[in-house]
Amino acid sequence: RLEAVIFDLDGVITDTAEYHYLAWLALADGLGVPFSREKNERLKGVSRMESLDIVLEDSGLSLPEAEKQRLAEQKNDHYREMIGRITPEDLLPGIPELLDSLRERGILLGLASASLNAPQILERLGAARWFQAIADPAGLRKGKPDPEIFLQAAELLGVTPGHCIGVEDAAAGIAAIKAAGMKAVGIGSAAQLGTADLLVPGPSGLSVEKLMELIQL
Ligand code: G16
Ligand code: MG
């Protein structure tokens, strides 16, 4: 029986990737380091400090830890300025209907986002009311593809992973869900998310019925 659905945030509930892109681009420009949309793709689902390492990888710069912390903070300040303008209009199409109908069936909802800003983003979206648990990425030892964040969300919800579905837009996220022993739903293309148990181009392609079919226990 399906007991809980655990969602990623960026790329699944809303599209914050564009704001991450603009904030990293401004930082890279300031440092004279090239940054592209292609590179931004590699930052999806990746933690802030790991993202900075990717942004700086071809720069030839080797910065002390304190300077890296300062740059990450600078990027985050700019990013937070942009996400302050998020409204419920920024929920991806299909999400309000899907979350409503899952809740009507008594299915629990959890969030497994790598973003330390996730609670504020949910508030801005008016989406916090749907979720019974939000995993805290700050306390994690390992990021996706490690299953830790999905397991933490399941534990907070008090459900067994075998009765959970995880929804992700990044390959590392799908790997994390599978490693947690959950069924994986991919939002995106087969080229990147081929190992998902169910694949749809966007969240509007999902329904409670489709999700319930994945777990027939
Ligand atoms: C999101 C984004 C990543 C970002 C990460 C950390 O992950 O996809 O690009 O680097 O969060 O964000 P922050 O700097 O706000 O802590 P997810 O897991 O929601 O897809
Ligand atoms: Mg994502």
State both tokens at 120: 């504020």
d(CA 113, CA 7): 8
Mean pLDDT of 199-216: 96
Residue 216 pLDDT exceeds 90: no
- Residue 77 is a catalytic residue: no
pLDDT tens digits along 38-50: 999 889 889 999 9
Between the CA of 63 and the centroid of ligand 1 the distance, in Å, is 22
Residue 217 pLDDT exceeds 70: no
Amino acid type, 183 = K
Give CB contacts under 8 A, 24+ apart, made by 191-194. 193/168, 193/169
Mean pLDDT of 7-35: 96
Between the CA of 216 and the centroid of ligand 1 the distance, in Å, is 32
Residue 189 pLDDT exceeds 60: yes
What's the ipTM?
Answer: 0.94
- Among 177, 162, 167, residue whose Cα is nearest residue 200: 167
pLDDT tens digits along 114-149: 999 999 999 999 999 999 999 999 989 999 999 999
Mean pLDDT of 141-170: 97
Mean pLDDT of 170-189: 96
Whole-Å CA distances, 123 to 15, 88, 97, 143, 179: 15, 9, 18, 23, 30
